[in-house]
Amino acid sequence: MTLNPSSRWSPADYASNAAFVPKLGAAALALLAPQPGELIVDLGCGDGALTLQIMASGARVIGLDASTEMVEAARARGVDAFVADAQALDLDNQAARFGQFDAAFSNAALHWMLDPDAVASGVFALLKPGGRFVGEMGGEGNLAALRGALRAELVARGYPVPADDPQWYASAEEFTRLYACAGFTRIEAQLIPRPTPLPAGIAQWVLTFRAGMLEVAGVPEPERRAVAAAVEQRLQPFLQQPDGSWSADYVRLRFTMRKPD
């Protein structure tokens, strides 16, 4: 699988420090409007917390995620989940096993997939004619302050930092062009600034969401908490609220589209 080397997930850390992710996926889920009896694929289903909400509609949902650990956590919740890379879908196997899908959904996952053209063409092939793709991802400008502080701290400590961040944070225009080239129509994509409270603080966010980046940069395990604490200190003037709480400078790209009939 063509996995992003900076994407590393611990289900336990995710459940403790990232519970806001599925909670804030409610707006995208409302756009999906799943119906009883529909067959829906959830791309990047993670631990299945949001997948369960789609299942509650009466739809049959197949969860796909590149993380074996997250798929195991989703299965433990009762989700029909499988390990798969959305950038390299085994389309013949998917078609033989499930047929074509009425809809595809994705929340907080597409920006980790660094071959978006492959994702777009794969989703297009999975859908029935007239099928819809709905979701939300990180968009242009997402986490600019937080990402900048982490990069600055790694540089200050002498660790290599890639020229480009290991995520695809697209503008609405770039996203629309790419999915139109894949064949989709009726594309609506919108950037939404969404400052997001972080109950566990910045340091825990770094250890949860950038564990892979710290590993790729070569930061030894014993030093990672110190790096995360230093990033939090750098961001105190910008992201800490007067009451001592923390928020992150999220920008989301929310979208809907259709495969032509």
* Domain definitions of the chain by residue range: 11-143+165-198+250-258
Residue 13 has pLDDT above 70, yes or no: no
pLDDT top residue among 176 and 7 = 176
Residue 139: CB partners within 8 Å, gap ≥ 6? 169, 170, 171, 172, 175, 191, 192, 251, 252, 253
Read off the amino acid at residue 77.
Answer: R
Q: Is the pLDDT of residue 21 over 80?
A: no
**What average pLDDT does range 41-55 have in this prediction?**
95
Q: Is the pLDDT of residue 88 over 60?
A: yes
* pLDDT of 1: 44
Cα separation, 245 vs 241, whole angstroms: 5
Predicted confidence (pLDDT) at residue 41 exceeds the cutoff of 90: yes
Neighbours of 13 (CB within 10 A): 15
- Choose among 163, 115, 171: nearest CA to 142: 171
Task: Please report, as a single letter, which amino acid is at residue 164.
Answer: D
**Best CA proximity match to 47, nearest among 67, 74, 14, 25:** 74
Give the Cα separation of 14 and 66 in Å (integer): 15
pTM of the model: 0.89
Please state the rounded mean pLDDT for residues 232-260: 97
**pLDDT tens profile 168-220:** 999 999 999 999 999 999 999 999 999 999 999 999 999 998 988 999 899 99
pLDDT band at residue 38, thresholds of 50, 70 and 90?
very high
- What the block records as the tokens of 134 is 């709905």
Question: What pLDDT sits at residue 170?
Answer: 98
Question: Does 8 have pLDDT greater than 80?
Answer: no
Average pLDDT of the residues of the chain:
92
Least confident range of 10-14, 23-27, 126-130: 10-14
CB distance 203 to 225 below 8 Å: yes
Structure tokens at 187: 């594309």
pLDDT digits (tens, 9 = 90+) for 92-105: 777 668 889 999 99
* Cα separation values, 149 from 66, 101, 153, 209, 220, Å: 28, 41, 6, 14, 19
Domain 11-143+165-198+250-258, CATH number (from 3.30.70.80, 3.40.50.150, 2.60.120.620, 3.40.50.720): 3.40.50.150
Give the side-chain half-sphere CA count within 13 A for 203: 11
Which is nearest to 231 in space by CA: 196, 205, 194?
A: 205
What does the pLDDT read at residue 97?
84
